[in-house]
């Protein structure tokens, strides 16, 4: 049986955040380039294999999760094999500038006006966050614009599947399939450095799966029904699970830290930036360093600073 694969290349920006934090950063015009690829592989060829799934399950149980729950998750048919997720994460995850401005992501100018409106509409909440964390409405809003277009950008990826695909790289057979199918276009897949990076990424993804399951439990959600970025980032602020576990804040005082709740997302951004050293009266260099902690990309930092300055102007 021959199965065609629909590979969706989403050219967007994702930066690696300090303390193992990744962010889903949408590119300017958010070009969604869809390429149909007829992969001449048997349908059965693309599989994680029972061995790799058992390995991942056992590691999660060792972290303290209930065995029956973990096994039920990994036997669920909603976990799909998506090798393109791996390629996107390994090769298309860094913020990029535009042809006109190589050091800035494209941001539709309308988001400057939308951002100012957002600050007015959410003045009470943002003002309270500024008093509590020392982060202005402008910096919180600037990050929300880049990360999720003020909580309007659709999240298209099943986060559990994304992390499962990455974690499955710990299975040598699965990684070999990736190499054989994609090495012609991405020859560095066979390089020792890339192999090492892929293994580190897999271990990282396994840890994120653990925190994702815990977050799903805390917000009473099905972990297999959670959508986010192809890098596994969640909600308006695009925290990865382990980062939200550390920096997540209950912004609306309902007793639940929820990465999909906009109040919690804004409060979590503010707290993260405070911890990163952001102060409104700090030097530009210090502010840029704080943003760098959120996403270690010069292009990202430049873009956030541009938005921050524009939103601060009258």
Three-state SS string across 217-271, please?
Answer: HHCCCCHHHCEECCCCCECCCCECHHHHHHHCCCCCCCCCCCCCCHHHHHHHHHH
Q: How confident is the model at residue 80 (pLDDT cuts 50, 70, 90)?
A: confident
Check whether 241 has a pLDDT greater than 90: yes
The residue segments making up the domain with residue 174 are 5-312
Q: Comparing C-alpha atoms, which of 88, 60, 84 is closest to residue 74? A: 60
In this prediction, residue 39 carries a pLDDT of 39
Query: What value does the mean pLDDT take over residues 117-136?
Result: 98
Q: What is the pLDDT of residues 15-64, one digit of tens each?
A: 333 443 444 444 433 334 433 343 344 434 456 667 788 899 999 999 99
In this prediction, residue 216 carries a pLDDT of 98
Check whether 143 has a pLDDT greater than 80: yes
In this prediction, residue 93 carries a pLDDT of 86
Query: What value does the mean pLDDT take over residues 79-99?
Result: 92
Q: What is the CATH number of the domain that holds 232?
A: 1.10.8.350
In this prediction, residue 139 carries a pLDDT of 98
In this prediction, residue 314 carries a pLDDT of 74
In this prediction, residue 53 carries a pLDDT of 86
| Measured CA distances, 262 to 85, 208, 250, 258, 259 (Å) | 27, 21, 10, 9, 8
Per DSSP (E only), the strands in the chain are 5-10, 13-17, 21-25, 32-37, 157-158, 227-228
Question: β-strand 32-37 against 5-10: which pairing, if any?
Answer: antiparallel
Mean pLDDT of all residues belonging to the chain: 87
**Residue tagged 């958010």 (tokens):** 30
Cα dihedral: 293, 296, 298, 300 (round 10): -80
In this prediction, residue 269 carries a pLDDT of 98
Query: What value does the mean pLDDT take over residues 100-105?
Result: 95
Region of residue 98 (phi > 0: left; psi between -120 and 50: alpha; otherwise: beta): beta
Q: Which two tokens stand for residue 236?
A: 């308006």
| pTM, full prediction | 0.84
Instruction: With beta carbons less than 8 A apart as the criterion, state whether 232 and 207 touch.
Output: no
Q: What is the pLDDT of residues 253-264, one digit of tens each?
A: 999 999 999 999
Least confident stretch, 8-12, 75-79, 186-190, 261-265: 8-12
Q: How confident is the model at residue 3 (pLDDT cuts 50, 70, 90)?
A: very low
Q: Comparing C-alpha atoms, which of 210, 225, 231 is closest to residue 69? A: 210
Number of domains in the chain: 1
Q: What is the pLDDT of residues 251-307, one digit of tens each?
A: 999 999 999 999 999 999 999 999 999 999 999 999 999 999 999 999 999 999 999
């Amino acid at each position: 049986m021959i199965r065609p694969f629909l590979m969706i290349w989403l050219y967007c920006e994702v930066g690696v955040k300090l303390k193992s934090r990744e962010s889903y950063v949408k590119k300017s015009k958010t070009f969604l380039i869809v390429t149909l690829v007829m992969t001449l592989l048997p349908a059965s060829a693309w599989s994680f294999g029972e061995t790799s799934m058992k390995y991942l399950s056992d590691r999660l149980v060792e972290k303290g999760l209930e065995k029956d729950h973990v096994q039920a998750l990994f036997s669920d048919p909603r976990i799909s094999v998506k090798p393109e997720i791996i390629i996107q994460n390994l090769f298309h995850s860094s913020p990029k500038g535009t042809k006109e401005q190589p050091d800035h992501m494209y941001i539709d100018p309308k988001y400057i006006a939308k951002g100012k409106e957002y600050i007015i509409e959410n003045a009470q909440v943002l003002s309270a966050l500024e008093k509590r964390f020392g982060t202005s409405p402008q910096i919180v809003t600037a990050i929300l614009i880049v990360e999720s277009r003020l909580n309007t950008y659709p999240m298209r990826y099943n986060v559990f599947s994304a992390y499962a695909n990455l974690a499955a790289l710990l299975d040598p057979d699965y990684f070999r399939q990736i190499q054989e199918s994609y090495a012609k276009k991405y020859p560095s897949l066979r390089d020792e450095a890339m192999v090492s990076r892929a293994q580190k990424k897999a271990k990282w993804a396994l840890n994120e799966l653990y925190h994702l399951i815990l977050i799903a439990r805390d917000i009473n959600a099905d972990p297999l029904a959670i959508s986010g970025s192809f890098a596994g980032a969640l909600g308006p602020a695009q925290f990865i699970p382990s980062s939200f576990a550390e920096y997540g804040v209950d912004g609306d005082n309902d007793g639940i830290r929820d990465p999909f709740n906009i109040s919690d997302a804004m409060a979590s951004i503010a707290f993260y930036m405070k911890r990163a050293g952001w102060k409104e009266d700090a030097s530009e260099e210090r502010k840029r360093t704080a943003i760098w902690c959120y996403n270690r990309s010069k292009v990202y930092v430049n873009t956030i600073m541009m938005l921050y300055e524009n939103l601060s102007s009258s």
